[in-house]
Structure 1
């Protein structure tokens, strides 16, 4: 069987899907449009001028042309999965679909954040991690996945609380959590990554947040999280689906605090492990940090591993 995954894989999560497929003996390939680079300095200059004068990013079209070039080399596929299909123009989707018998999409952003309704007639199946979107549009609901092997802490955590995320509107809630953590005399480490981190001075009462344009390498994320006893998960605006934080915490046996109340609807939710914050943070206290992580039943843990995700999405046995 031949399967191709197409995505803009900024944090390198999608590559795990291809790795799992290969472990199952599938001839799998990943076309990462986020990895596209201009072929020359002059091409970069041309694109910069186009963005400034014409408000048009030539790189977007070149990325999509790259997809077709790679598919022409790979040949026909039994299945093609596109993750967040709104990043590709409809005309290119039509061409991509010609390469496969089964064309499927996975949304790990909400439609409110990343509208893609104009594309859904092209797909044989659409999967979504957002319960509201799945119910409203008859998508197949599926969470993100646990891509890590089961790990246990071998050394005491250096910090009580740890956070890693992109630079966006979650900075405000994070700053409030940090203020509370400081009141409780707990330790923390927070890293915020993004091109606009130069605006960090505009963030009020941000505490000791590390702002950087250089992201932590994906393979280093488990090591970074291992330095904290409790992880922080904060929802993006207009989104209720579960982030990868929950599944990384699951693999690392870490507790997690979150402002996403929908996690209570999932079978892996345990109040001993997951603290859903009140709006005023009134339930954030030292007791959550002082109690131990409670192990999940094996069948629940296995349900959220990438193996099960791949078997479900690609209809594999």
Structure 2
């Protein structure tokens, strides 16, 4: 039986929002969910990210209508993840509609270039960031990301590939992937899935930026891989490649998924060296300007870690820490 009622506002992001909801429900919350943007096309997502004020009137109308629909429900917890289009009018409306609910914010993007989001932190009772430097500068709580149950396995099997990469191509990721491919020892086996959200984004990047210079359209895929397929690729790889956005320092979801799946990690993120799960046999940190994998790294096995380390980064632990304790008795819905 559920002991608390929660409203989860989260982006549609490769199914992670549903996994969070499912884990909250397993943990005792009855959950209603709304998207953190009232639209889902690649173009409007880009507008929301680069010029969020253009989307504010539509977003405010959307949330006002949704809250009218949910007016009969009383919530103990309001959890907003990312909240790119959850503007001040909506936050005030949430506060007015649910005065006794605990309001929590979590971000898995850097706040350094999001002044509007930083200004909205004051509306929440507690805020978390996946980026330790952001947490310190904004005086909020630091909480790394997680791995979901589907990425966990007891022990690695014999790999099909020595290294794999599955990810969205942004910033300098394409250049790094190509540079690393050129440096791979012969006969290393690789699996590469370079994702762009729409064909027009390939054309736009070719014309407007130099981020995919020399690329051909056939190198990219325009449909996200099902999560089960991503998990299969992890399980069949000796190592996975992780490339964080150059403006971010927090650990990516890929980093934690490599941990959960007991898969070795090649990453450009030097932050990993300070983590409690860092082991040079399991994690190779490479220079994003000249990425080179240390000799022998792709031929040695993953070294198991203490069980309490895995538990710290499981989704269940993330939900427990971010959502906080359940109320003594659930609110009527």
TM-score range, shorter chain: 0.7 to 0.9
SS in 2 for 1:220: helix
Query: 2:22 maps to what in 1?
Result: 19
Conservation of the 8 A alpha-carbon contact between 1:162 and 1:230: yes
Conservation of the 8 A alpha-carbon contact between 2:78 and 2:102: yes
Q: Within 5 Å, give how 1:263-302 maps onto structure 2.
A: 263-279=272-288, 281=290, 283-302=292-311
- Seen in structure 2, the aligned counterparts of structure 1 residues 62 and 221 have a Cα distance that, compared at 3 Å, is farther
Shift of 1:156: 3.1
Q: Within 5 Å, give how 1:93-112 maps onto structure 2.
A: 93-100=91-98, 101-112=101-112
Residue 120 of structure 2 is aligned to residue 119 of structure 1: yes
TM superposition score normalised by structure 1: 0.84
Residue 222 of structure 2 is aligned to residue 213 of structure 1: yes
- Seen in structure 2, the aligned counterparts of structure 1 residues 69 and 209 have a Cα distance that, compared at 3 Å, is farther
Query: 1:50 maps to what in 2?
Result: none
Residue from 246, 256, 261 that aligns with 2:255: 246
For 2:163 and 2:113, the matched residues in 1 are separated by: 28
Shift of 1:60: 4.1
For 2:156 and 2:294, the matched residues in 1 are separated by: 25
Residue deviations 1:93-131 (CA, integer Å, cap 9, x gap): 111233432111001100124441120110111100111
Conservation of the 8 A alpha-carbon contact between 1:163 and 1:231: yes
Shift of 1:161: 1.2
Q: Cα RMSD between the aligned structures?
A: 2.7
Shift of 1:235: 1.1
- Seen in structure 2, the aligned counterparts of structure 1 residues 232 and 77 have a Cα distance that, compared at 3 Å, is same
Query: 2:8 maps to what in 1?
Result: 5
Gaps of 5+ in 1: 39-54
Residue deviations 1:2-55 (CA, integer Å, cap 9, x gap): 1121011221212222211211222122223458579xxxxxxxxxxxxxxxx9
Gaps of 5+ in 2: 42-52, 327-333
SS in 2 for 1:98: helix
Conservation of the 8 A alpha-carbon contact between 2:6 and 2:76: yes
Residue 94 of structure 2 is aligned to residue 85 of structure 1: no
Shift of 1:277: 0.6
Q: Within 5 Å, give how 1:47-66 maps onto structure 2.
A: 56=54, 60-61=59-60, 63-65=62-64
For 2:296 and 2:10, the matched residues in 1 are separated by: 41
Q: Number of residues paired by the alignment?
A: 299
SS in 1 for 2:287: coil
For 1:186 and 1:25, the matched residues in 2 are separated by: 46
For 1:179 and 1:205, the matched residues in 2 are separated by: 14
For 1:34 and 1:243, the matched residues in 2 are separated by: 22
Q: Which runs of 4+ in 1 moved over 6 A?
A: none
Conservation of the 8 A alpha-carbon contact between 1:167 and 1:192: yes
The structure, 1 or 2, with the larger RCO (C-alpha pairs under 8 Å, 6+ apart) is 2
Shift of 1:178: 1.7
Conservation of the 8 A alpha-carbon contact between 1:272 and 1:293: yes
SS in 2 for 1:21: helix
- Seen in structure 2, the aligned counterparts of structure 1 residues 184 and 139 have a Cα distance that, compared at 3 Å, is farther
Conservation of the 8 A alpha-carbon contact between 1:192 and 1:209: no
Query: 1:46 maps to what in 2?
Result: none
Query: 2:318 maps to what in 1?
Result: 309
